[in-house]
Amino acid sequence: AQKVTQAQTEISVVEKEDVTLDCVYETRDTTYYLFWYKQPPSGELVFLIRRNSFDEQNEISGRYSWNFQKSTSSFNFTITASQVVDSAVYFCALSEAQRDDKIIFGKGTRLHILP
């Protein structure tokens, strides 16, 4: 069965520090997709990144980077030089590549960036 675990419930760091949000997943499929979403205080979930199971290349987008490691079933998210605007709840999610499969979300990590 699918499962996504975000063990960090809440994290607080001082602005400009780097912070890594952990995500561990479980799936029996060989083809699947992993996602990260950001939920700012306004509530709307914003899509950040998708990774498919065949592509283990790490990705960098500005201050954001993602480390996908199939060997440890992890898809961690790092924010470099954090800013107050990064304060939000971040969700990791998993989807197996079937037509009617659901997207399974982790419980989220609430990130506080302190000025």
Minimum distance from residue 52 beta carbon to other proteins (Å) = 6
Measure CA 90 to chain center: 6
Q: Which amino acid is at 66?
A: W
99's tokens: 């037509």
Q: In a 3-state reduction of DSSP, which class is residue 72? A: helix
Contacts for 82 with CB less than 8 Å, ≥ 6 apart = 13, 15, 16, 17, 18, 19, 63, 113
Residues found near other proteins in the complex (CB under 8 A): 33, 35, 37, 43-47, 50, 52, 91, 93, 95, 97, 99-103, 105-108
Minimum distance from residue 37 beta carbon to other proteins (Å) = 8
**Looking at beta carbons only, is 11 or 80 nearer to other proteins?**
11
Distance CA 99, CA 14 (A): 43
Minimum distance from residue 98 beta carbon to other proteins (Å) = 8
Cβ(94)–Cβ(28) below 8 Å: no
**Looking at beta carbons only, is 86 or 106 nearer to other proteins?**
106
Minimum distance from residue 86 beta carbon to other proteins (Å) = 19
**Looking at beta carbons only, is 9 or 71 nearer to other proteins?**
9
**Looking at beta carbons only, is 33 or 64 nearer to other proteins?**
33
